[in-house]
Amino acid sequence: MMRHFFQALLAILFLSSGTLGYTQCDGVIPGMHEFADEGDVNLGFAVNNSDTNNPDLLAILLANGNMVVPANALKFGPLHPERDVYNFSSADQIVALAQANRMTVRGHTLVWHLQAPAWLDPASGWLDLTPQWRKRWTRDELIEVMRDHIHTVVGHYRENFPGVITQWDVVNEAFRTDGSRRPTIWQQVIGDDYIELAFRFAREADPDAKLYLNEFYDSSISLGEFVLGRDPTYENSLGASADRSDCSDVPRCAAVRALATDFVQRGVPIDGIGFMGHHFVFNDDWPFPANYERLAGWTKSLGLSWALTEVDVGLRGNAVATPAQERDQALRFEKMVTACMRAENCDTVVFWALTDAVHWQRSDEFWDWATLIRDNGEPKLAYWHVFAALVEHIRSRSVEER
């Protein structure tokens, strides 16, 4: 343990550039994988097949993650293109890679409104625009579709890759900012109990995997969403305001909490809540430790876990980041990771892409340059802050154990 600690310290102190990965690291930059194992943390990266087929990106993944999340391959559309056709090949490739390298997988995601196949939802989730399409399903039919999809997909992985997919995002983005249910095809045709049904089907198909509701929480102020509060100690803070993360006046959070409370009380199978963690530099939604402590508190009081499932911090369109932006980015990553590590009921942090080059919003004016690692494989300041947070987690655990 101490050997790793010093190795990491050396790496952090002496190296601020270089590329990552087994092939290039010549034993000097260790990567975070072993540390994650040592800290009992699931440290994951979202990947597409094009990433895992690229030797440089694969090396970065293997060196730094002990968990993999197919960014798209397990979504309804790619996996279930026709009503009677399942195409597991892309997702299987990623899950097999994880299995071969003794990594686990988060299954993302079973029930969502986006990236749906045309046979199910011709508008692929944007059905607010074309409500007439909803009429093609009855409630019973759509429940049957959902049951078949969840049983087949979860069952396929349980049977063919036992124990590899340890967590499923059963339902994704079910609530709107104002706390109301998002009017998806599932909500409109099946009704309020679609979430409950999805969790029950998932539990039937895999009694062992942890089942998550995955939701926005601390993100998207620039998408017109909420502010959690501001850290008066943060130098870039735009001003102090009351901490509001107890959920009472953050409608979506309150809705998630109410749903989770109801599920736990009625014995609906749910194990955790995923909070995505999509952030932007210099935004008002600073990831305050106090906010996460509250989050950890109410989830824990329900006996639930929470996880950071899609962490990224966009730099707002600057091809060359300023030092201040890179610092802000690094601190946001660090605060989120530290919050999870400090919480008893959070053991999973997933970064939503391996490097800037393959981030899904690469060309988006807001969200680009949002990862820990540059296009050329060079770790950014944010990488070292995350690494340091991981090492600190290991250190503080070893102090507690003594």
If the CB atoms of residues 72 and 398 are measured against ligand XIL, the closer one turns out to be: 72
Neighbours of 348 (CB within 10 A): 24
Q: Among 60, 157, 56, which residue's Cα sits nearest to residue 104? A: 157
DSSP annotation string for 222-239? GGT-----B-TT-TT-S-
Give min distance, CB of 273 to ligand XIL, in A: 13
Q: Does 299 bind ligand XIL (CB under 6 A)?
A: no
Among 64, 172, 184, 299, binds ligand XIL (CB under 6 A): 172
Give min distance, CB of 231 to ligand XIL, in A: 25
Q: Does 354 bind ligand XIL (CB under 6 A)?
A: no
Question: Could you give the string, one character per residue 314-333, with x where binding to ligand XIL holds by CB under 6 A and - elsewhere?
Answer: --------------------
Q: Does 177 bind ligand XIL (CB under 6 A)?
A: no
Q: Rounded to an integer, what distance in angstroms lies between the CA atom of residue 307 and that of residue 210?
A: 11
Q: Among 191, 179, 90, which residue's Cα sits nearest to residue 142? A: 191
Q: Are 348 and 294 in contact (CB under 8 A)?
A: no
CA-angle at 117, arms to 114 and 123, nearest 5°: 60
Q: Does 72 bind ligand XIL (CB under 6 A)?
A: yes
102 Cβ contact list (under 8 Å, min separation 6)? 66
Rounded to a whole number of angstroms, the CA Rg of the chain reads 21
Q: Rounded to an integer, what distance in angstroms lies between the CA atom of residue 333 and that of residue 327?
A: 10
| The token pair that represents 89 in the structure block | 């090949």
If the CB atoms of residues 29 and 253 are measured against ligand XIL, the closer one turns out to be: 253
If the CB atoms of residues 169 and 196 are measured against ligand XIL, the closer one turns out to be: 169
Torsion, Cα of 16, 339, 258, 255 (10° steps): -30
Q: Rounded to an integer, what distance in angstroms lies between the CA atom of residue 159 and that of residue 137?
A: 30
Give min distance, CB of 346 to ligand XIL, in A: 18
For ligand XIL, the nearest residue by Cβ is 360
Q: Does 347 bind ligand XIL (CB under 6 A)?
A: no
Q: Rounded to an integer, what distance in angstroms lies between the CA atom of residue 184 and that of residue 174?
A: 8
Give min distance, CB of 15 to ligand XIL, in A: 29
| The token pair that represents 23 in the structure block | 């092939």
Give, to the nearest 10 degrees, the angle between helix 194-205 and helix 251-266.
50
Among 41, 47, 68, 71, binds ligand XIL (CB under 6 A): 71
If the CB atoms of residues 111 and 390 are measured against ligand XIL, the closer one turns out to be: 111
Q: Does 220 bind ligand XIL (CB under 6 A)?
A: no
Q: Does 371 bind ligand XIL (CB under 6 A)?
A: no
If the CB atoms of residues 8 and 256 are measured against ligand XIL, the closer one turns out to be: 256
Site for ligand XIL in 270-289 (CB under 6 A): 276
Q: Rounded to an integer, what distance in angstroms lies between the CA atom of residue 9 and that of residue 381?
A: 15
If the CB atoms of residues 90 and 390 are measured against ligand XIL, the closer one turns out to be: 90
SS3 (DSSP) at 58 = helix
- Please report, for residues 170, 181, 343, the alpha-carbon distance to residue 296 in angstroms, rounded to integers and kept in the order given: 20, 24, 6
Site for ligand XIL in 89-128 (CB under 6 A): none
If the CB atoms of residues 121 and 310 are measured against ligand XIL, the closer one turns out to be: 310
Q: Does 360 bind ligand XIL (CB under 6 A)?
A: yes
Site for ligand XIL in 152-171 (CB under 6 A): none
Among 121, 225, 310, 334, binds ligand XIL (CB under 6 A): 310
If the CB atoms of residues 19 and 72 are measured against ligand XIL, the closer one turns out to be: 72
If the CB atoms of residues 181 and 327 are measured against ligand XIL, the closer one turns out to be: 181
Binding residues for ligand XIL (CB under 6 A)? 71-72, 172, 276, 310, 360
